[in-house]
Structure formats: structure tokens, C-alpha cells
Structure 1
Amino acid sequence: MKIFTATLVTETNTFAPSPTGFGGYASFGIFHGDASKVDPDGPLGDGAVELHRLAVAQGHEVVESLSAMAQPSGRTVQAVYEGFRDEILADLRAALPVGAVVLILHGAMVAERCDDCEGELIEEIRRIVGETVPIGVELDLHCHFTEQMKRNADVIVCFKEYPHTDAIDRLREVYALTVATAEGRIRPVTAMHDCRMVGIWHTTREPMIGFVKRMQSLEGKDGVLSVSFGHGFPWGDVAETGARIWVITDNDEVKAQRIAAQLASELWDMREAARPTALLIDAALDRALAVDGGLVVLADVADNPGGGAPCDSTFILSRIVERGISNVALGCIYDIGAVQACKEAGVGTRLTLRIGGKSGVSSGTPLDLKVTVRALADDHRQTMGGTISRLGSAAWVSTDDDVDIVLMTLREQTFSPSAFTGLGIDLAGKRIVVVKSTQHFHAEFAPIAEEVLYVSAPGALTADFVNIPYRVRPPNFWPRVDNPFQDISHA
């Protein structure tokens, strides 16, 4: 059987001021049917490599189309989106006939004139392959699970873990269910329940650890094929933003609806207990300083580029400097100009460097700090599991008060200690490490940390879900409404 695959991934913050253009995708790499060969260890190639491996083991063939990804930012430029969409569709037509389609998408991609890029792409693919060829889709759990997606795909599965440590496992699940559908061994049907909730859920702590296990306990028996909890992406203002649970069964829609509704009820009951907590900057610093030995990791969640933030805010760094706190590492700050200045100065040079605060109000004020250039790299990288993430040219600078700062030229969240250690920064003896990330850092930083604290600093990603200025998304959601299922005036 011939299996067609394509990858198109970005998460759109519709409140971000800067659009996502071709350059945003090019910084990750755009591959035209060869990501598995050219970038096998990268975030675009690893999924295609796994699909080839699975297919070959079963005597199938994979036809690989476009692979493109961009760091989250504003809406994708319409011409860029349409160019990618049309390339995938042209490749599909050239590959016909195919027995199945497997897509690696995000689920929260928004273009200038399309609020549901993934739904539109899946629908166009359905028109080409017809009703009998199964379409399987893997989504990020921060997706907008839409009726258009559900109507046109046979199998949709999203990640269960945040951080997304299970992406390859979920891709294997999509592949297996899609192939089983193509071979007539199952007839998947999907039921979705709108939880009417907007928020963030950390699967690294209870009660969400138990909730993920509960979903998994239902799969693979009594006709239940897959269970997904799509957290939604709160900073995407589209009609179907928000948390949704969907269940895939083998031709039993009633059972799928019942299980989805039951899980949604369980999630609702734990809504307060599952809320992430965050400390104001000084409270977080005070608590970190009170820890007697061991590393404390502070997450600058409001400046996470993985959610569309600029990644150059100075609010936490400013308080560290003002309070004279030492033995700190902070990274990574997106600052092309500062990196260039360090490269021109050279390793060992002491200079006054203007750091951060360059992208707008949400970035704070630039800091002019006396620093020493400790290390430079032309192609700095970090690793998460076996996947490589590129940070571009980078510089390690240190202040006179022993604050080590990593600067980079590719906007990316910090999710691995290798972002620091790869430049020579020893984290073993550090008191505090500040990372610009909401949750992906947890997988690799938590094992080396005495404590992990989430910081409520100013920035582009407000966690005040009550007051997110939605214009498209209806207001009938918790926590804006105490009970959105009863308050019909907001329905």
C-alpha cells in the first residue's frame, strides 16, 4: 500500500503583532519530500523517519511531501500558507492512487484569511482521495479540534503529554489506526465533547498525571481505539478555541459519546485542582533563595516563544540584577544585535552590552549591562530526547555579579540544559536557572532541579484567561463564566 504523508506545523498567536512569513518557516528548514533524509534528527525529519520505518516493516511504501514548521507567532501570511497547501495537494495528485494519508499537523495554525488551516487542508485532501481512502492526523495537544477536521479525517489523535514527550508514540498510534482502517480491520467513528474551558494543564503533576492514565486505561479494549484531550491554544482567537475531549471507537458512536462526556465531567470536577500556580517575580526569587542547596528552576512562562512571545523580555533579569543575586544562569534571550556585538568583540572581551527589550512593550526595557564574553557558537543547538533544536548563532556572557546569560539568533524556547552546557556553562553549582518556557523545559530540567517554580512575570502570554480579549471565540467558557453549561445568557 502507498501511504502519503506531509508535515505542516505552527501554532498561531492571533494577538501577536508580527505575522509568520516564509522566513519563519525557513529558519526551521523547509523540505520538499526529503526531510527524512536531509534532517532525520530534526523536529521535521524524525516523524517522517518513523513513518518510513513502520511502513517498510509491513511492506508498505511512504510518499513524502512537504515538511515545514515555524516558531509560533502571528497569523501566517496567506500566500505562504496557500503555497504550502498547494504544494501538498499537487504532490498528492502526483502520487495517486494512494491507500492512506497520514498528516503531521499542529491544529492551531491560522492564516490571514483562514482560521482553520488544518481543517481546510484535510478537506481539500478528502476531495482528492475520495471517501474510501482513510486520512489519519496527528495533532499537538494545543490544537483547536474543529468540526471541519472531524468531518474529513478518519483518525485524529493528539499528544497526551505536556511537555510533548510522546509525539512519536502518538504518531505510531495514528499510523496503526489508519492502516487498520485501510485494510478494513476497523471502522473508526469519533465523538467530541466541548469542555467549555480555556486554560493550561500540566500533565507532570496531579491531578493531570492521573487523568492521562485514566484516558490510557480506556484504550485498546471494548472497542475503544483512542482517547484524546486537546487542551486548546488560549492565545488563538478562533471560534473553536478551547478544551475538547474526543474518543474514537470501532463503529460505536454511542459509546464514544458516553466516554467523552464522562471524561469531560471528570476534568470539570478537577478544574480548580488542575490550575497551574505561578509566583510574582520577587516572590519566586525569594523562594528560590530560601532553598538550602540544590538548583531551583524558574520558568518565565509569559515570554515563551513556543506560544508566540518575543523571547527577549527583561523583567526577571532586571530584578536579578537590581537585587544583586549571583550564581544565576538565564536563557535563552533572542537578541540578534547583542550576539553580533559579542562576535565582533570576541571571547574574553569586557563590554557594555544592551540586552533584550527590543521587540515591544511586552519585552520590557533594554538592559545595559557590563559583561564579559565567555563563549561563542555559530550553530548552537539543544536536544530534547533525540530531537535537535537549533538556536542559531549564540553567545554566553556573564555579568560582574556572576549572572550567566545565553543570547541566540533563532527564537526558540529553552527546554534542555544543553542550551547552557553546550556553551560551557556548568549548571551543577548554580543556585538559580531561569528558562524562557511554559512547560516543555520540565522534561529535562526537573530531574536536575531541587524545585521548579513558575513565574508570573509581565509579557506577551498572559495567564489571565478571564480577560483574554477574544473577539471571535464566544465568551461561554470557564473561568470567564463560573458554569458555562448553565449560564445560557453566554451561550
Structure 2
Amino acid sequence: MLRIACCVIRSTEHATRNIIMEVIMMIKIATGCIGHETNTFSPVKTDLDSFQGKKSRTGLKIGSEIIDTFKGTKTITGGFIDAAAKLAFELAPLIWTFATPSGAVAQSAYDYLKQLFLEKLTEAGKVDGVLLDLHGAMVTENLEDAEGDLIAAVRDIVGDDVPIISTLDLHANITDLMVEKADVLIGFDEYPHVDCYERGWEAAQIIISILRDGLKPSMVIHRLPMLIAPPKQCTFRPPMKDFIDLAHRIESEQGIVNVTVSGGFPFADIRDAGVSVVVTTDNNPKLAAEKAKEIGDQIWNRRNEFEVTLTPVKQAIQYAKEIGEGPVILADGSDNPGGGAPCDGTVILQTFLEENVQDAVVAVIADPESVQKAIEAGVGNEVQLEVGGKIDDKHGKPVLMAGVVHLISDGCFVNKGPMGTGMKTNMGRTVVLKSGGVEVIITEKRVQVLDQELLKSVGITPVDKKLIALKSAVHFRADFESIAQKIFEVNTPGVHSPDLFQYDYKNLRRPIFPLETEETEFLGETRFLSQ
């Protein structure tokens, strides 16, 4: 009898577990991305081709293509995918596309992608939640806040009872509409963005806590009248590191769900560009407001520590000669395509040639015309090219360069460094042109240098070089800082220059630091805008 009873009990327990698992597996979470970081000062146009055509490095992924692309990668969506398997929920992929940062998005392109996104969401049927992989600084021809517009449209479809969580870049310009329409906003903690995967996991864990455990998020935004240039948003060192550390300490406190410190994107001429702190608690908006203001006050009190010091290119070269050993890295942040610049600036290349430097490489210059001519000349042959300087006159003139075509490549490689690990990068057809002691990597597509594999894929070993010029502001540090003898953030012209006084802002709210100093009053505002 005892054995029979035990069997019945075990059978009942087994059936109960099956029922529980069936209920758990019924949870369906939609996910997708329309991504762009908009530099409104950029001369580079952002059309539909930027998202899905030849200019795109990732293309437009729909449905299961998203899973195939991101599974096994250290990305936000890669985090969503792994979390779905571990936490036992169904992921319903909609669309995913991200254009290389550039100018304002053509309204027709955004409207098309938004409509496609919403169509796929509707086709997915009833969903229990939505996980969005967004940037937070997309501007269209008619909208200062494209992400807020998209989140609001998603909210209209799923209703008020379905949780929406979006990850955001550390450079997001977070708006009231984003906070009002989302349940939780989760920004990156690191710049370089080496924590994308972890933030994707965190977002998934929180949405499951809402659905299964009854978590009731209360989200508050505290906005500061302050712009920070990208080099000083780097979280590897103070002052930004200190504020992220503080955010982590607060996150460990009872009742705190998430703390996001957003440095903002100062190259978007919109009202809400700038620094903000977003704190989410479990049903305690007062606590959220207190903690957001605590962090905001500390940032404001140390605002003068965010001044950027740049080194003239010739001076950096002289320092490199004195150092002797390499590699010495020159960061050309003003022409960073990862922030909307053309990636065809020539100031460093011109100076390298004039100074007759040796064992040097420039990575990269985007110039499809020069790529085509080099390919026509062929590997091992000499060719004379006018390299770069073709998009506008703000980043240097074309450089007349006679050299040997050292290599021709398809421009494809897989990231092996700590940022975007496992993601495929497509630079378009790529050539290496060598003139004297200088090699220049010329690509068809604009691409930020953030992984050593970019150089290795075209036969260049970074540690063997004495001088490396990189088109990047901060992301390069994730994979290059460990091999660099010295890094110089050099003073070059461009639409991503950290000199914020050079920009003709028309829509930005004023006064704002550092554009105004003595007359700036602390106008930080705390808003209770959560769902």
C-alpha cells in the first residue's frame, strides 16, 4: 500500500511539474530592433539602404534570421536568446536592423521599418511581453525621439498590461516619452560597450520577474543640464567609472531593480540631448527619485572633471618617436564612424606621409572609389590614388598617394575581442595600400575600429606596428588598450569632435553645461513617468 501511495504521489508530482512547465513555456516574448545613433551634424545621409542594403553592415533580419544571426554572440539579442533557453520562455523575433551612425534618418525609411516592425508584432499574435534592443539616440527628419515613437506604437498594440523593456546605449538621449511608455529602460554600464550580453540577460530576467513574480516596476528619470563628450564617458577610468560604481552599489540595495546612468549623445541637436539618470524600483517611486537625484547631484558637482584634452597629431608622432617601442595609438575620434562621421578623414594619413613615419598603419578610410581603382590595378602593382576627403571638406582634403596594392580582401571577419564577440563584420571590399612606411586600410563601407581582427583580417599584426591610427573615440580601448604602449586622443577636425563649442546648436535646451558655465543654474529635474 505504501508503495502504491508513493507511486501515486510521485505520479501526481510529475504531472504537476509538467503542468507548471507547460504554463511557463506558454510565456511568449516579442523582440526586435530598429537601431541608429543619429549625428544631426553629419553629412552622411541615412536612407533605407543604410538599414538593409549595400551600405548596411548587418542588413535587415526578419523572424528566425535574427536567431540565426545572434545565437552564440555576446550581444544584447544574443543575451535575449540565451536567457529564453535558460528561463524557459518563447522568443518571438520580429525584425532587427541597425544602420551605421550617420545623419538624420530619412522619414520614409523610418516609416517603412516601423510599419514592418508593427506588422510582424501583430502577426506574432498575443504576446506576454516585449524586449526591445534599441539605441536611444535615433532622430528622423521629423522626429527628435524615434525610439519613444516606436515604443509608444508598440504600447498601442500590446496594451497597458503587457510589460515592455528596452535596453539602451550608454549614449542614449532618454526622453519622457520613452520612460512613460516603457516599463523598464536598461542602459549599458560600460563604454566601451563590453556588457551588451549582460544587459540583454538582465532585461530578460526582469521581464520574467514581472510576469512570474509580480514585480511592479516604478521608473523615474532625473535629467541634468549637461553634455559630456564621448572620450570622457569612458567607464574604464574616473570620473565616469565612479558614477557607474555608485550605480552598482545602489542596485544592490533592497527594492532597487535597475540604475542607468546615461552619458547622452551630444551630437544630436535635439531638446533632450544630454546626461540623465534612470532608476527603477519595485513599486517605490519615492525611493527611485531619491537615488536618481543622489547620483545626478554627484555628477553635477564634478562636472568640471569632464573636460577633454586633445594632442596635436605632429606632437603625438614626436612622442611616439621618444617612446621608441610600439604600438602607439592615435585615436581619431573626430572622424569616428561609430558616432556618425564620414570615416574618410585624411589629416593623420597626410601627416604620416609628410613626417615619413615607419611601421605605421591607418585604419580605416572608407573610400569605395579608391577601392575600385586599387582592385583594377591588382595586388603587387603600383597605383596613384586620391584617398579620402570625398564626403565633405570638414575632415581633410583628398590625399594624393602613390603606393603598392599590398592586399585585396572581401572585408569580412568575425570579432574575437571583448566587444560584440562572435559577430560578423562586413567592411565591403577592402584593400591595403602601402607607401613607404605607411599602410592604409581602405574600405567600401564605413566601419569603426574596435577589434584587432579588423587589422589581422588584412594581414596586419597590430603588436608589430609602431604607430596605429584608428577611427574610433573609445570603443577601440576594449581590444587595443592592452597592447598599446601609449594612447593619444588627437586633435583632428570632424563632426564627432569632442570640442562641443564648435557646433551650431539650434534645438538643444539652454542653458546647458559646458556651453554655458557661470550663468548655468542646476536645472536637474526628476520625473515620475513610469507605467
Q: Could you tell me the TM-score, scaled by structure 2's length?
A: 0.88
Report the secondary structure of 1:361's partner residue: coil
The amino acid that maps onto 2:514 is P
Q: Which residue of 2 aligns with 1:395?
A: 431
- The residue correspondences of 1:157-306 to structure 2 (distance < 5 A) are 157-200=186-229, 201-306=233-338
The amino acid that maps onto 1:396 is V
**Does the Cα contact within 8 Å between 2:170 and 2:188 map onto a contact in 1?**
yes
Q: Does 1:16 align with 2:42?
A: yes
Q: Which residue of 2 aligns with 1:40?
A: 70
Displacement of 1:253 in angstroms is 1.0
Name which one, 1 or 2, has greater alpha-carbon Rg: 2
Q: Higher mean Cα deviation, 96-105 or 382-391?
A: 382-391
Equivalent in 60, 64, 68 of residue 30 of structure 1: 60
Residues 439 and 4 of structure 1: CA distance in aligned 2, closer, same or farther (over 3 Å): same
CA distance in 1 between partners of 2:276 and 2:463 (Å)? 41
Report the secondary structure of 2:309's partner residue: coil
Residues 362 and 381 of structure 1: CA distance in aligned 2, closer, same or farther (over 3 Å): farther
**Does the Cα contact within 8 Å between 2:228 and 2:306 map onto a contact in 1?**
no
Q: Which residue of 1 aligns with 2:6?
A: none
Q: Deviations over 1:382-417 (max 9, x none)?
A: 5243133221111111102x1011011111111122
The amino acid that maps onto 2:258 is S
The amino acid that maps onto 2:320 is A
Q: Which residue of 2 aligns with 1:439?
A: 474
**Does the Cα contact within 8 Å between 1:138 and 1:158 map onto a contact in 2?**
yes
Displacement of 1:484 in angstroms is 6.4
Displacement of 1:196 in angstroms is 1.1
CA distance in 2 between partners of 1:3 and 1:220 (Å)? 27
Equivalent in 32, 40, 64 of residue 93 of structure 2: 64
CA distance in 2 between partners of 1:40 and 1:474 (Å)? 38
Displacement of 1:254 in angstroms is 1.1
Q: Which residue of 2 aligns with 1:348?
A: 380
Displacement of 1:470 in angstroms is 1.2
CA distance in 2 between partners of 1:182 and 1:241 (Å)? 33
Q: Deviations over 1:109-164 (max 9, x none)?
A: 11111111110111111111111111000011111100000001001011111111
Equivalent in 438, 445, 454 of residue 489 of structure 2: 454
Q: CA RMSD in A?
A: 1.8
CA distance in 1 between partners of 2:519 and 2:172 (Å)? 21
CA distance in 1 between partners of 2:180 and 2:410 (Å)? 46
Q: Which residue of 1 aligns with 2:526?
A: none
Displacement of 1:269 in angstroms is 2.4
Displacement of 1:217 in angstroms is 1.5
Q: Does 1:465 align with 2:500?
A: yes
Equivalent in 36, 46, 55 of residue 84 of structure 2: 55
Equivalent in 106, 113, 122 of residue 135 of structure 2: 106
**Does the Cα contact within 8 Å between 1:137 and 1:153 map onto a contact in 2?**
yes
Displacement of 1:485 in angstroms is 5.4
Q: Which residue of 2 aligns with 1:133?
A: 162
Q: Deviations over 1:448-482 (max 9, x none)?
A: 10111101111222322234211111121110121
CA distance in 2 between partners of 1:55 and 1:324 (Å)? 55
Q: Deviations over 1:323-381 (max 9, x none)?
A: 11222111111010111111111111112122111111113111111111111102333
Displacement of 1:42 in angstroms is 9.6
**Does the Cα contact within 8 Å between 2:450 and 2:479 map onto a contact in 1?**
yes
CA distance in 1 between partners of 2:430 and 2:44 (Å)? 23
Q: Deviations over 1:13-38 (max 9, x none)?
A: 11223321111112221011133344
Report the secondary structure of 2:364's partner residue: strand
**Does the Cα contact within 8 Å between 2:327 and 2:465 map onto a contact in 1?**
yes
Displacement of 1:40 in angstroms is 2.9
Residues 226 and 484 of structure 1: CA distance in aligned 2, closer, same or farther (over 3 Å): farther
Residues 49 and 194 of structure 1: CA distance in aligned 2, closer, same or farther (over 3 Å): closer
Q: Higher mean Cα deviation, 289-298 or 146-155?
A: 289-298
User: What is the aligned residue count?
Assistant: 486
Q: Deviations over 1:187-228 (max 9, x none)?
A: 111111112110131112223223222211111321111111
Residues 391 and 186 of structure 1: CA distance in aligned 2, closer, same or farther (over 3 Å): same
**Does the Cα contact within 8 Å between 2:173 and 2:264 map onto a contact in 1?**
yes
Q: Deviations over 1:83-133 (max 9, x none)?
A: 111111112222231111100001111111111111011111111111111
CA distance in 1 between partners of 2:69 and 2:133 (Å)? 16
Equivalent in 405, 427, 444 of residue 373 of structure 1: 405
The amino acid that maps onto 2:484 is A
The amino acid that maps onto 1:32 is I
CA distance in 2 between partners of 1:19 and 1:403 (Å)? 31
**Does the Cα contact within 8 Å between 1:48 and 1:64 map onto a contact in 2?**
no
**Does the Cα contact within 8 Å between 1:382 and 1:391 map onto a contact in 2?**
no
**Does the Cα contact within 8 Å between 2:84 and 2:90 map onto a contact in 1?**
yes
CA distance in 1 between partners of 2:118 and 2:90 (Å)? 18
Q: Higher mean Cα deviation, 192-201 or 380-389?
A: 380-389
**Does the Cα contact within 8 Å between 2:67 and 2:81 map onto a contact in 1?**
no
Q: Does 1:413 align with 2:448?
A: yes
Equivalent in 125, 141, 147 of residue 176 of structure 2: 147
Q: Which ranges of structure 2 fall in alignment gaps of 5 or more residues? A: 1-26, 524-531
**Does the Cα contact within 8 Å between 2:148 and 2:178 map onto a contact in 1?**
yes
Residues 339 and 467 of structure 1: CA distance in aligned 2, closer, same or farther (over 3 Å): closer
Q: Does 1:94 align with 2:130?
A: no
Which of 1 and 2 has higher RCO (CA within 8 Å, sep 6+)?
2
Q: Which residue of 1 aligns with 2:18?
A: none
Q: Which residue of 1 aligns with 2:343?
A: 311
Displacement of 1:294 in angstroms is 2.8
Q: Deviations over 1:225-284 (max 9, x none)?
A: 111111111111111110101111111111111111111111122222243322122222
Task: Using the aligned pairs only, state the percent identity.
Answer: 30
Q: Which residue of 1 aligns with 2:22?
A: none
CA distance in 2 between partners of 1:46 and 1:212 (Å)? 20
Q: Which residue of 2 aligns with 1:422?
A: 457
Report the secondary structure of 1:102's partner residue: strand
CA distance in 1 between partners of 2:75 and 2:240 (Å)? 28
